Structure formats: structure tokens, C-alpha cells
Amino acid sequence: MSNKGRVVIISGPSGSGKTTLHKRLLDSPRLKGILVKSVSATTRARRPGEKHGRDYLFLTPAVFKYKIRRGHFLEWQKVFGNHYGTPKRQVLTLLNKGAHVLLCIDVKGAAAVRKEFPGALNIFIKTPSMKALRDRLTKRASETREALAARLRVARAELKEAVHYDHVVVNGRLDHAVRRLERIVLNEH
Ligand code: 5GP
């Protein structure tokens, strides 16, 4: 695929803080007009404050399945019981406009996008330690003990995938991680 813009993938285990970093990058004045968001589709329930079309396209499982069959997604995955997918047409349209398109997706989804876009910029986010990851996951009120154990198990496996990425950013101090990510994207621009 030849496009003007570039796909920028942010990935990492659940609890790495990648969603927060992704939001900070999209709000960054230094990246305004350079980096745009890909809005994913999901079957999970909307959380308070989330908006359809801005945070996600919130779809029913039936509609999501229909879109899978129609080849609507660049990649899709089941992540902790819900389906998530990257709409293909949206990404291609943005790339053709010359934008760098930011995807914040799980590790398996990232591997699938890398196959389709070998020129993608791949950034892996991780916490300074497993203890920091456990602490972050524990703070999430929605996690049961079983869910926490499952996420830690998955995270251990996902950390091994970091070798396939162009950059690994340790998310210790949030501001430092944001600056580092801004520099990475600007250097590639
Ligand atoms: P959350 O439900 O907390 O917003 O996201 C849960 C997980 O799904 C996160 O790891 C997030 O990065 C991932 N995710 C969000 N959108 C997509 C997508 O389009 N594709 C894939 N593979 N993962 C996604």
C-alpha cells in the first residue's frame, strides 16, 4: 500500500497507560495537524463521558460481526471479552490526506497492522516494573481478582513482544513519556 501519511501504532499491555498517553499525544499542540486519531469500533459498553464517534464507534455484536464479514476492519481482536476493530476505510482516507494516523490497539492487533503496513511506526508502552503494572491494574475499580490475574498473565506474554517494535517507551513519569513520544513522532515526520 502506498500512502502519503504513516500509521503510528501505540500498543502495550493493559495497564501500561497507553490510552492516557494516546490522549495526551492527540491533545499535544506540538503534534497538531500532524497526528490524527483513528476511531476504533467496539462491542463493549460505553463508559461515562464516552461519546459515540469520538471515543469509539459503539456497535452491537451483530453489527460488529456483519462488518467483519464485509471486510470492514483492517484488524479486529477480542480483548478481555469484547470485540475491537480498526475501520479500514477511515485509516486509508486519513493516510491519503497525508496525515499520520495514530492507532492505540492491543498487542495482537498491532502485529496484524504491522503485516499490512510494514512501514508503520511501532511504539510499545510499558510500566517501569511488573509491580507498577500490578499496582495500576489493582487501582482500576472494575477489576475482580480473577480479571486482575488474567490481565497480569496476558501482560507477561505481551511484554515479550516488545522486541518487534521500533521504540519502547517506559511510562514512569507521564510528562516524560509524553515528551519522549512527541520527539519520536516529530523525528519521523
Ligand atoms: P478499552 O476498553 O479500555 O478502551 O480498551 C481495551 C483494549 O482494547 C486496549 O488495550 C485498547 O488499546 C484495545 N483496543 C482499542 N481499540 C482497538 C482496536 O481497534 N483494535 C485492537 N486490536 N485493540 C483495540
90 lines ligand 1 (CB under 6 A): no
Q: What are the b/e assignments for 42-72, b being 16+ CB within 10 Å?
A: bbeeeeeeeeeeebbbbbeeeebeebeeeeb
pLDDT below 70 — which residues of the chain?
1-3, 141-143
* Look-up of cell digits 475482580: 144
169 CB within 6 A, ligand 1? no
Domains of the chain: 7-188 (3.40.50.300)
How far is ligand 1, taken at its centre, from the CA of residue 20, in Å? Answer: 12
Residue indicated by cell numbers 501519511: 5
Q: What is the pLDDT of residues 98-123, one digit of tens each?
A: 999 999 999 999 999 999 999 999 99
pTM, whole model, 2 decimals? Answer: 0.94
> What pLDDT does residue 148 have?
87
Closest among 126, 132, 84 to 108, alpha carbons compared: 84
Residue 181 beta carbon below 6 angstroms from any ligand 1 atom: no
73 ligand 1 Cβ < 6 A: no
The pLDDT assigned to 2 comes to: 42
What is the position in ligand 1's atom list of the atom closest to the CA of 86?
Answer: 19
Q: Whose CA is nearest to atom 21 of ligand 1?
A: 105
